[in-house]
Amino acid sequence: MDAAAVAVGVVSGRRLAYANRAFRDLFGEVAEGVDVALGERMIAAADRVAATGVPQRLPQEAVQGAWADGEVRYFDVFCSPAGTDGTAPAPVLVVLVEVTERVVAHRELTEHADRLAVLAEATSAMHRSLDPSDELRALGWAAVPELADLAMVHLLVHPTAPGIRPPLPVVTDRVVVARSGERLDLPTPRHGLRWRREDVLTQAIQAGRLVSGPVEAASPWLEQAGTAALTLAGLHTLAAAPVIVENQVVAAVLFGCLAGRAPWKAEQLAVLGQIAEKAGHALGHGLAYQHSRRSALTLQRSLLTDPPMVPGLRISVRYEPAGADEIGGDWYDAFNLGHGDIAVAVGDVVGHDMTAAAAMGQLRSTLRGLAVDRAEQPAAVLNRLDTVTHRLAITSFATMIYGHLHRTGRGWRLRWANAGHPAPLLLRPGHPPRWLEQAHGLVLGTGMPHPERIDAEIDLDAGDTLIVYTDGLVERRGQDIDAGMRELAERAAKAPVDGSLDELCDTLAYHAPSDDDLVILAVRVL
């Protein structure tokens, strides 16, 4: 037994009857015949073997020995009967095979996988939205509670370059506080926090990377975050990392360890630094998107102008985009053609994004140019617009109603053409609502051969109301569009004859489905 590479001992009645050299090397010189200190689980297993004669195995048992490093080591422990002569208490053979390297390697592999999972989830969370506020909120919760008990995100009032000493004091607004459990209560937001040279946030900016270290009760930065709350929660370790966008520190995140969590290892600090780095990428994308969105929104609003004031007519419009971006492909227009004639148009470019909005702008401008270029009827204008749309690849799919309003002796005459668009609705006092379906034609931009579009016309008398709209007013997901058009006609028919045109538009828009862009252009003959 002394030549065996594994620890072997014989226990009889909880006393050591025999120990080989490896056993003595492991636990120290233990005199035979004295109580053995193997730990409660191993002693209990040996007792069961002595009582039942059935071998027992304890995999990966943690043992706190007397070895120099004082570390916990791990063993596969095997207990089996060691005698058959009927002596009491029955002796038990205890064999310990060290598996510390295997356990540590598996633990490190698991911890590494967990850190990668936290980083992957944090990266995904920060890229789920292009709203900087959502991205900063995701940054705050990216490491809590898996890697940290506390995270605070601060926006710099004056962004500064990383890697150099920033102008002091650094002024921040705390916009996010994430914490695990209920041990900490910090007010959010908190504005105008001032950081000095010795503060951890300033050190991180100057280093241009994550810095960490133990927290002292008198640390100056604690005044910035609520000394009492952090002290009571047992904050003992802190890490701060800059969030860099286009070589400017625009924010900083502070991670904290509270009582009960061990200080971070180097691998964990590396993940925290990577989270801040990924936040910079996400925030950069979000800020760039928001800038583009504001530009597109400004452009779209500049195009969707108020309709002209026309004697004898009242024109009212509504535009409601479906998405949070407030931009889309639906549009309206009304403009003077000269000689008292008025052009009206409602169109729908496929899509609900900036691409659709850009195509909408080109289509609207091109229509205006073609409409005033020569005196043509609406169908001819749409035919030319279709050609331009296809050849210049403005869009591959757009629908439109385009018409002319011409004053007559008794009222107005509407002449219009249709490119694949839902039919306008005519409300006439004393009559049921009427769909104007005479004109029809193929959508714009397909490049497919098709019959020439045709014009239709109708006289509008005093009190008549024309409603031109996009499909967002009548199309509901999972429902046939004909049902939506019937609902529109019913709602319009119930509107008071003497009610204002603005109130009618508001009522129709209020009851419309909310999952598509919506445009309403209403014209009433006074």
Give residue limits of the domains in the chain: 7-98, 109-292, 304-525
Beta carbons of 39 and 16 less than 8 angstroms apart: no
Helical axes 132-141 vs 266-303, angle rounded to 10°: 170
Q: CB-based contacts of 409: which residues, under 8 Å, 6+ apart?
A: none
Assign residue 312 a region (left: φ > 0; alpha: ψ between -120 and 50; beta: otherwise). left
Residue length of the chain? 526
Distance CA 110, CA 104 (A): 10
Task: Please report, as a single letter, which amino acid is at residue 39.
Answer: G
Beta carbons of 441 and 403 less than 8 angstroms apart: no
Task: Please report, as a single letter, which amino acid is at residue 162.
Answer: P
Instruction: At 24, give phi and psi (nearest 5°).
Output: -70, -35
Beta carbons of 401 and 343 less than 8 angstroms apart: no
Q: CB-based contacts of 471: which residues, under 8 Å, 6+ apart?
A: 348, 399, 422, 481, 516
Strands (E), 283-385: 313-320, 330-338, 341-349
DSSP 8-state class, residue 410: S
Distance CA 279, CA 270 (A): 14
**So what's the pLDDT on residue 191?**
87
Residue of 381, 402, 399 lying closest to 446 (CA atoms):
399
Q: Is 446 exposed, middle or buried (0-12, 13-18, 19+ CB in 10 A)?
A: middle
Q: Encoding tokens for residue 214?
A: 């133990």
Beta carbons of 255 and 148 less than 8 angstroms apart: yes
CATH 3.30.450.20 for domain 7-98, yes or no, is yes
DSSP 8-state class, residue 150: E
Beta carbons of 438 and 455 less than 8 angstroms apart: no
Distance CA 160, CA 157 (A): 9
Cα–Cα distance list, 347 to 20, 332, 333 (Å): 92, 6, 9
Distance CA 242, CA 249 (A): 6
What CATH number does the domain located at 109-292 have? 3.30.450.40
Please report where in the chains the tokens 């508001």 appear, as a residue: 506
Beta carbons of 419 and 382 less than 8 angstroms apart: yes
- Which residues make beta-bridge pairs with 109? none
**So what's the pLDDT on residue 87?**
67
**So what's the pLDDT on residue 134?**
86
Beta carbons of 158 and 171 less than 8 angstroms apart: yes
Assign residue 148 a region (left: φ > 0; alpha: ψ between -120 and 50; beta: otherwise). beta
Distance CA 363, CA 445 (A): 10
Per CATH, 7-98 and 109-292 having the same topology is answered: yes
Distance CA 150, CA 254 (A): 8
Query: How does DSSP assign 474-518, residue by residue?
Result: T--TTS-HHHHHHHHHHHHHHS-TTS-HHHHHHHHHHTS-SSS-E
Please report where in the chains the tokens 């050849």 appear, as a residue: 391
Beta strands across the sheet bearing 456-460: 330-338, 341-349, 398-407, 412-419, 456-460
Q: CB-based contacts of 65: which residues, under 8 Å, 6+ apart?
A: 26, 27, 73
Torsion of CA 180, 181, 183, 185, to 10 degrees: 70
Fold of 304-525: Phosphatase 2c; domain 1 (3.60.40)
Residue of 117, 122, 126, 116 lying closest to 282 (CA atoms):
126
Query: How does DSSP assign 151-212, residue by residue?
Result: EEEEEEEEEE-TTSPPPSSEEEEEEEEEESTTS----S-EEEEEE-TTSHHHHHHHHTS-EE
Distance CA 151, CA 140 (A): 5
**So what's the pLDDT on residue 233?**
74
> Per residue of the chain (526 residues), what is the pLDDT tens digit?
888 889 998 988 888 888 898 888 887 776 666 677 777 888 889 889 988 889 999 998 888 765 556 678 889 999 999 876 666 778 999 999 999 888 888 888 777 777 777 778 877 877 777 778 888 888 888 888 888 998 889 999 999 999 999 999 999 998 888 888 765 667 677 888 888 888 889 999 999 999 998 887 656 666 666 656 776 678 889 899 999 999 999 999 999 998 888 899 999 999 999 999 998 888 888 787 777 667 666 766 766 788 899 999 999 999 887 655 556 788 899 999 988 899 999 999 987 677 787 888 889 999 999 999 888 999 999 999 999 999 999 888 999 999 999 999 888 999 999 999 999 999 999 899 999 998 889 999 988 888 889 999 999 999 999 999 998 898 877 777 888 889 999 988 888 777 899 999 999 988 887 667 889 999 999 9
Beta carbons of 430 and 371 less than 8 angstroms apart: no
Cα–Cα distance list, 216 to 112, 199, 236, 261 (Å): 30, 12, 7, 16
